[in-house]
Amino acid sequence: MSLEPGLKALLQIPEFQLSRPPPGVPAAELRAAALPLPPFPMDEVHEVRDLQIPVRGATIAGRLYRPSDRPHLPLIVFFHGGGFVFCGLDTHESVCRTLAARSGCAVVSVDYRLAPEHPFPVPLEDCYHSTQWLVAHANDLRIDAGRVAVAGDSAGGNLATGVCRLARERRGARLRHQALIYPVTDAACDNASWRELGQGYMLSRDWMLWAWECYVPDPARRADPLASPLRATDFSDQPPASIVTADHDPLRDEAEAYAARLRDAGVAVTARRYLGVIHGFASLPFATQLADRALKDLAGDLRAALTA
């Protein structure tokens, strides 16, 4: 299917295309030069509150979105994308507001530490320990510790899968659902969608390989299922999943392969491929109406999973 016109126009902007940065440029400088999104209307929520969350060796920020003043709301812990190197609370404000408003659940966005300054497994451990801290402080936050899901887009989807796996291995908080928006699942970046779409559709293969070099500098560690969840041998006992993919996204096939592996292990999966869109489309409501549609669909899944 052809690209939606608004996304096609974005792809004509040279700065919108991600390519491998010049060698030696510090990550902080790259972040400062990142192309900002234009302002656009966002969903209203009852409360937005910044949090300080203790993790191993640091305190990181979080942001709580409450759709209502009701006590004991279910909780969605959200991990932002950005190739493990970019983005933060502000870049994913719209996504988190929409998920909170449309699901009726509280959402906490986690500002995990970024690579390359903090390589694997630091960002994943930040996400895991943030989730455990939020559950442990559920009464103070007026959320329900028994109704918790994780969610994330792109690299954040990768981190969400890792939190699910660690929660099982370490007997942590029981997670009811994982909501993955075009998740990164394999460091190889070598399949049909990468070969077809790895150049010219915003997310390039060269850029993604560079991001993996930042996140997991040691190539031998990139096969660890906590880094490349598609490489796992056991997919059983994982939470039910909702997985969003985009037909013009080079990550499409590895995300859909992850959905298939979960299904093969008996895990309930709802997978939706949206047509005419690119990687990152859920954060681009000014360019495509399917951004709102995908987040509404996902919020419906989370509402069903957490309010039953």
Residues designated as active site: 154, 249, 279
Say if CB 292 and CB 285 are below 8 A apart: yes
Please give the Cα distance from 251 to 255 (Å, whole number): 6
Q: Which amino acid is at 270?
A: T
Say if CB 151 and CB 179 are below 8 A apart: yes
Please give the Cα distance from 181 to 278 (Å, whole number): 12
Say if CB 161 and CB 258 are below 8 A apart: yes
Question: Cα 268–107–88 angle (5° rounding)?
Answer: 105
**How far is residue 286 from each of residues 17, 200, 243, measured CA to CA in Å?**
18, 20, 22
User: Concatenated DSSP letters for 6-19?
Assistant: HHHHHHTSGGGS--
| Helix (H) or strand (E) run with residue 197 in it | helix 192-197
* DSSP 8-state code for residue 105: S
Say if CB 106 and CB 46 are below 8 A apart: no
241-248 β-sheet, strand order: 47-55, 58-66, 106-110, 73-79, 143-153, 177-181, 241-248, 269-278
Torsion 265-266-268-270 (CA) sign: positive
